[in-house]
Amino acid sequence: MGARAGPAAVLGLVALVALWPGARAGCAEEGRCCPGRDSTCVATGWRLSRAYGTCFCDEACKTTGDCCYDYAQACPALPCIVGEWTQWSGCAGQCKPNLRMRTRVIRQEPKNGGDPCPPLEEKAGCLEYTTYQGQDCADEHVPAFITTSEYSRERKKRAVHPRWSSETEDSRSYCVEFRTETLSPHCSVESRPYARWMQYLREGYTVCVTCQPPAMHTGRHRCSGDGSDADGNAVLQWQAVGNPLCHGTWKKVQQMEECSCPLVHSFIFT
């Protein structure tokens, strides 16, 4: 019986295999490039791990680590390419906060592990103030313009409204409690000293908004956007005065004579 081949003989065989014309066969020579995970998408050649034998040419080989040595060159990664956004659609409904939408299409599907497609649909809030017949919407759907409760002190100091006096303030003012549903990201990043109060607006939080005589409609003695005629399921809009990019929606919880929220979650109608 012949002796078992020693280390030098084994290295020599490996060298011969490497020089053999078919030894470096891979994805390119086999013409294989397969999407996803495909156990039949195979070739014979060197792997990136320097092991010789069966190697793969499917996208999953990059995860499993058994790609053929030439996978990256034979199957280059192609990213997803999308088209431009369409124009925004009209509001989905009139006289109540709703959604508008825009879309884009895929121009090139991703291949060989290329970057996936970004979202193809985008939605944004909207509100139409007139019906299809051109009639004005009800006041409960007019956005509530709010500012910090600290401004209440400035109102007293400056007496900006001739109808407002200390006698009418207590008798006419009222508070509305809302639960915030959504808000734009611009609220939390507001850093200007006079507008930092916007950082205290949070989704899911209960806030109190005071309606004072300077902000009331003459005769009605109510503030726009207070949801006076809306039920508890109506989604209403609000906007922060001083930063139109800080806005959102909320639902009315109840109306009270006096606010009970912490100071940082208390605001006033403007």
pLDDT at 97: 61
Report phi then psi at 158, rounded to 5: -95, -15
Say if residues 270 and 152 touch (Cβ distance below 8 Å).
no
pLDDT at 138: 56
pLDDT at 104: 96
pLDDT at 11: 39
Where is pLDDT greater, at 83 or 229?
Answer: 83
User: What is the rounded average pLDDT for all residues in the chain?
Assistant: 80
User: Which of 130-134, 206-210, 229-233 comes out lowest in average pLDDT?
Assistant: 130-134
Query: Distances in Å between the alpha carbon of 265 and those of 2, 95, 150?
Result: 90, 28, 11
Compute the distance between CA of residue 222 and CA of residue 228 in angstroms, rounded to an integer. Answer: 8
Kindly tell me if the per-residue pLDDT of 224 is higher than 60.
yes
Kind of pairing between the strands at 266-269 and 206-211: parallel
Compute the distance between CA of residue 30 and CA of residue 57 in angstroms, rounded to an integer. Answer: 9
pLDDT average, residue stretch 23-41: 86
Say if residues 105 and 82 touch (Cβ distance below 8 Å).
yes
Compute the distance between CA of residue 218 and CA of residue 266 in angstroms, rounded to an integer. Answer: 24
Say if residues 96 and 74 touch (Cβ distance below 8 Å).
no
Kindly tell me if the per-residue pLDDT of 233 is higher than 60.
yes
- CA-based torsion, 50, 54, 58, 63: positive or negative: negative
Compute the distance between CA of residue 183 and CA of residue 249 in angstroms, rounded to an integer. Answer: 6
**pLDDT tens digits, 140-171:** 557 889 999 888 776 665 444 454 444 444 46
**Phi/psi-derived region of residue 202, left when phi > 0, alpha when psi is between -120 and 50, beta in every other case:** beta
Kindly tell me if the per-residue pLDDT of 15 is higher than 50.
no
Kindly tell me if the per-residue pLDDT of 14 is higher than 70.
no
With helix as H, strand as E and coil as C, how does the chain read?
Answer: CCCCCCHHHHHHHHHHHHHCHHHHCCHHHHCCCECCCCCCCEEEEEECCCCEEEEECECCHHHHCCEECCHHHHCCCECCEECCCCCCCCCCCCCCCEEEEEECCEEECCECCCCCCCCCEEEEEECCCECCCCCECCHHHCCEEEEECCHHHHHHHHCCCCCCCHHHHHHHCEEEEEEEEEECCCCCCCCCHHHHHHHHCCCCCEEEEEECHHHECCCCCCECCCCCCCCCCCEEEEEECCCCCCEEEEEEEEEECCCCCCHHHEEEEC
Where is pLDDT greater, at 126 or 256?
Answer: 256
